[in-house]
Structure 1
Amino acid sequence: MKYYTISIILSVSTLLYLGNARTSEAQTTCEPPSTWISHAVVPPPDNNTAPSSNCAFHVWAWNTFLWITQPVEEGALRFKAFATLDDLFSSTASAMRFSALPKEKVLKLTVRVNKSFEMQGLDSIFQAGRRGVLIHGPGTDSGRAVYYSQNVDPVFYEFVRTNKYYLPDEYEKAQATVNFPVGAMEFKYSWKVVKEGEDTSTFYVTKAEIFLLTETTDSTGKTTVVVDPSKTKTVDVALVGVHVVGVVKDHPEFIWATFEHKDNAPDLPAGMSMTAAEPVSDRDWTFYHKNTPASDSNRNPADNPTSPMKLVDADKQLLSPVVNIYRAFPFGGGTPENIANIRSLNESVQTKVLAGSVWANYMLVGGVWSKPNNVSPGAVIVPQLGSVSLANTTMETFDQLFPNVNCFACHKTTEEPADGITIPAKNMNLSHIMTNGYFRQRVAGK
C-alpha cells in the first residue's frame, strides 16, 4: 500500500492568506454569473482574471467545462477538436499553430504520445498512481475496462510546439522556472463502453476506436492482459469523468478540477469506515452493485495476486474481477464552506443553465489549487486549498482513500526519475503530459 507524506511549513504570510481565504469562503451560496442563461451563451473562461474567492475557483471550473462541451462546427463539441497527444508530440508535423491541425478527429482510446512509438502496455485502461484498472459492472456483460483519453487546448499546444518542448533535448534544456502561460489547459476523459441495448439517455455518447485486449503467457506460465496493436474496433462510449486543468492569472500551479456523471458511484456515508462490513448504498450505480460492503469496494485488481486480472471473454472483451467503487471524500472534502459552495453551484448550474440538457447529469466533484504565484522548482506545493482530498472515482479509484491527498501528491515540480533517466526539477514537470512524453521518447531512443 502506497502512502504519501507531505511536510507543511506555514509562514506568517501563508497564515494570513489562509485567514483571508476562509473569510472569503464564508458564504451560504455560490452562483454562476447571471448572464449564463443557457449552455450556448456561456463565454470562454476568463483566465486573465485571478479568482478572488473559493466560489470563484469553482465557477472557473464549471465555466471551462461548459465551454469545452459547447457545439461548434457542424455540431461537433469543442473539446473533440483539441490537440491530441499524437499532435502535441509529433516529430514530423510542422504546424506550430493550432489552427493548422485537422478539426475532424477520431476518438482513439489508447493513450499514446507518438504514432511511431511502441505501445506501452495497457496505457488505455491503466489509471495514474498505482496503475490499477477499473473494470465496471453491475449488470449483464459486466467486465469492460474503463478507457481514457487526453488532449490540450490551443494555448497549451502552441506554447509547447513554438518552444519545441515536445523534443526531449529542448524540454531538458528549458529553464527550471519556466511556467505554462495563462490559458494553457489540459484535459483527461474517462469513458465506459456502452452495452447493446443499454439506456444511455443521461450520458454524452460518441463513437470511439479502441485497441482490443488479448492475453499473453510468458516462459514462467504467467498470463498477462495486453493490448493487441493489430486489432481495433469502433464502439459507442459514454463519458463518465473529465479532469479540467488550467492556468489562470497568478496560479501557475494550475487549478485542478474534476467532473463526474452523477450516477457513477455513491458517497461513503458519514462516519462509516472505509473497511466496514456494511454496504455503502442500497441501490445500483454505474460502478457499484447495491449492498456491496465498503470492505469489498475500491479494490485494485493489481493488489490481488491470487485473483489477477483476466480476459474471461475475448469476443466481448470482458475482464475480471469487476470493481465496485464509492467516493471516499464527497466533494473532495476541505472546509464546510468549500463543500457548500460546490453543492450550491452544482445545483444552480444544473437547474438554471443546463435544464433539460444531458450535461445536467454531470457534476463538479471539486477543485484544488494553492495561494497566488506559489510555484518554484523542486518545492512542494503548499498550502493546498479547496478540495484537499480530491479524487475522481473513475480516474483515481485506488488512490482516493487517503485524507488530504490530492492531485499535488503526484503533480510536482521536483525532479522526475524513470527507467534510469531523470528530468531535473522544473515548474513544467507539474504536467504529466510533458514528463510522460519526455520519458517515452528518451526510452524509445535508447
Structure 2
Amino acid sequence: MRIRHTLYRGLRLLPLPLLLSVAAPGFAAEKSPVSSGCQALSDWFPTTPFPDGNAFPQSGTLNNCAFHQWAYQMFLWLGEPSSSDADAPLNFETLAAPDKVLRPGGPDKPYPGRAAGEQPRIMVRLAKSKQTVDANDIFQAGPGAQVLVDQAGNVVYYTGLLNQDFWNFVTANKLYDLSALTSISPTQDFPVNTLELKLSWRVAAILDDQDQPQKVFIPNASTLFHTEKQTVPVVEVINGKVTDNTGKTMRAELALIGMHVVGVVKNHPEFIWATFEHKANAPDCSAVPTGSTSPVAGLPWSLYTPNSPVTVQNQFDVNNPLAVISSCRLAPYGGGNQQNTDNIQSLNASVAPHLSGSVWANYELVGAQWTGGNDAIPGPNGAPLSIQIGSLDLANTTMETFTQDTNCFGCHNGGVHTVTVGNSGQIVPAKHLNLSHFIVNYQAWLQAMQAKQNKQ
C-alpha cells in the first residue's frame, strides 16, 4: 500500500533535500517568536524540530502560551516526512498501534510492531463488547453505541497511535501482563516524551480493487485534506445494534478531520491534552444557524446540517443509529479565560502564513489543557477546576461530539475506572497510568478474560 502524502504539497517552495530533512530533536521554546504575542517560533520553519519535553520551559519562564506552542510544534513535527526518501511516511504515520504492544505476552515484532506498509487498526466507536474493548477502544467518546455519521451519510473512523517512548515504557515494565499492571505503583507516571494520538477520518471516496474512486463524497479531497488510502471495516446495524464486526471491509480514501495530540513534558506527567480540527468540520454553536459552506474554499460542512437550529445539534438517535448527525462546537477554543483564547487565536494566525499552499493550512489548534504540574494528577472525578489550566471546556467535534459538557480530565484521570466488557463491569483501580485509556481499556479486557478463564 502506498500512502498518499499531501502535507507539503505546494508548501514553502524549498529544495527537496532541505524540505525533507528531519531536524535533530530540540524544543524550540527558547527561540524568539516570529513576532509579538503567542506566536509560532522562528526555528519551526522551514522544518519543524521535535519538541523535546525534557527542555520544556520550567518555572520562571512558564506561561499559558508555552503549552499551546508545544502542542502546535508537535502537530507540525508529526506532519514532517520521517526521512529524506521521497516516498517516506510522515512522522505520525510511523507510530505504533496500541494493540501491537498491549497484547498478551507482549509484542511479537520490534517497534512499531508491523511490517512496512501495514496500516494501523481503524475502527468506529461501538458499544463495548468483548470484541471491541481493548487498547484501541478509545474512539468516539460517550456511553454505548454512539456513532458519528457525517453529512454524506458515512460513519467517522478512528485510529489510536503511540510513540516509541510509550512502547518502551510498556515493554520495560511488562505492562502487557495483568500482574504487572495490577502491581505497578499507583503513583507511577509516564516518562517525559510519552506521546499518544487519536485521529478521526471521513470517507472521501469509496475505491475499487484498483484503488480508483468508485463513489466520491469529497471532490478533490487530497487538495484540502490530508488523505490516506486504507482498508476499513464495513459498518452495519445488526439486530438493532451498530457493529463493525461484520467481517466485511472496503477500500476507501480517508480524509483526516481531527487529531488529539497528547504528550508528557517535564514536570507535567498529567500530559498536555491538545486537539486540532479541520476548519470545515462544524461551526461554533453560537453561530448556528449558519450557511451551508465553511470558510475552507467554500466547502460544505463535514458535520453540520446547514441552517439547522441549535436544539438538534450533537444528538444521537438510538432508534436510527446510522442517521446523519448535525454537530456544532459548544466552547470555541475550548473555553478558558480570555488570555487562553487570545493565545490560541494568535498562534493559529502566526502559523497560517507558513502553511500557505499546504493542506495543513486548513487545520487549526482548537485548544489545549493541562494542570498545575508537579504530579497534580486528576483524581476520580477529574482534576478540580482550581488546578486545571488552559482550555477548561475542551472538546473535539469529531471525537467528543456527544460529551462536550465535560473536558479531557473528566474522562482521562488517575481515579477508579469502570469499563464494560461484554456483560461485566470491570473495575480498574486508581493509578496515574489510568490517564491513558489505552492502559485502562486493556487492563479491563485482561481482567475480563481472566475472569472468564476462572469460570471454565
- Tell me the TM-score normalised to structure 1 length: 0.79
Match of residue 9 from structure 2: none
The alpha-carbon deviation at position 120 of structure 1 amounts to: 4.9
Is 255-264 or 369-378 further displaced after alignment?
369-378
Match of residue 389 from structure 2: 385
Match of residue 322 from structure 1: 324
Deviations 1:195-233 (A, max 9, x none): 33432121001011211123323xxxxx22322342212
Deviations 1:227-263 (A, max 9, x none): 2342212211000000000000010000000000011
Does the CA-based 8 Å contact 1:244-1:257 persist in structure 2?
A: yes
The answer to whether residue 395 in structure 2 is matched with residue 394 in structure 1 is no
Cα 1:376–1:324 change in 2 (3 A) is closer
How many percent identity over aligned positions? 39
Cα 1:85–1:367 change in 2 (3 A) is same
Deviations 1:255-283 (A, max 9, x none): 0000000111011227xxxxxxx624454
Amino acid at match of 1:335: N
The answer to whether residue 438 in structure 2 is matched with residue 433 in structure 1 is yes
Match of residue 278 from structure 2: 261
Deviations 1:385-411 (A, max 9, x none): 1000100000000111x2xx3100011
The answer to whether residue 358 in structure 2 is matched with residue 357 in structure 1 is yes
Distance in 2 separating the partners of 1:124 and 1:91: 16
The answer to whether residue 119 in structure 2 is matched with residue 106 in structure 1 is yes
Distance in 1 separating the partners of 2:48 and 2:330: 32
Match of residue 224 from structure 1: 241
User: SS in structure 2 opposite 1:225?
Assistant: strand
Deviations 1:73-102 (A, max 9, x none): 432111111110221213355568637754
1:65-144 mapped onto 2 (5 Å cutoff): 65-73=75-83, 74-92=87-105, 94=107, 98=111, 102-110=115-123, 118-120=131-133, 127-131=140-144, 132-137=146-151, 142-144=152-154
Amino acid at match of 2:80: Q
Q: Matched residue pairs, number? A: 379
Amino acid at match of 1:351: P
Distance in 1 separating the partners of 2:224 and 2:101: 32
Cα 1:338–1:119 change in 2 (3 A) is closer
Distance in 2 separating the partners of 1:124 and 1:154: 20
1:302-317 mapped onto 2 (5 Å cutoff): 302=318, 307-309=319-321
The answer to whether residue 301 in structure 2 is matched with residue 289 in structure 1 is no
Distance in 2 separating the partners of 1:50 and 1:179: 17
- Tell me the TM-score normalised to structure 2 length: 0.78
Amino acid at match of 2:346: S
User: SS in structure 2 opposite 1:145?
Assistant: coil
The alpha-carbon deviation at position 183 of structure 1 amounts to: 0.4
Does the CA-based 8 Å contact 1:130-1:398 persist in structure 2?
A: no
Match of residue 18 from structure 1: none
Match of residue 368 from structure 1: 369
Match of residue 56 from structure 2: 50
1:135-174 mapped onto 2 (5 Å cutoff): 135-137=149-151, 142-174=152-184
Match of residue 258 from structure 2: 241
RMSD: 2.4
Does the CA-based 8 Å contact 2:81-2:88 persist in structure 1?
A: yes
The answer to whether residue 418 in structure 2 is matched with residue 408 in structure 1 is no
Unaligned runs of 5+ in 1: 1-26, 218-222, 271-277, 310-318
Deviations 1:271-315 (A, max 9, x none): xxxxxxx6244544111122111111111223xxxx331xxxxxx
Distance in 1 separating the partners of 2:147 and 2:113: 36
Cα 1:100–1:397 change in 2 (3 A) is closer
1:147-226 mapped onto 2 (5 Å cutoff): 147-195=157-205, 196-197=215-216, 198-199=218-219, 200=221, 201-217=223-239, 223-226=240-243
Does the CA-based 8 Å contact 1:96-1:161 persist in structure 2?
A: no
Unaligned runs of 5+ in 2: 1-34, 206-214, 294-299
The alpha-carbon deviation at position 111 of structure 1 amounts to: 7.0
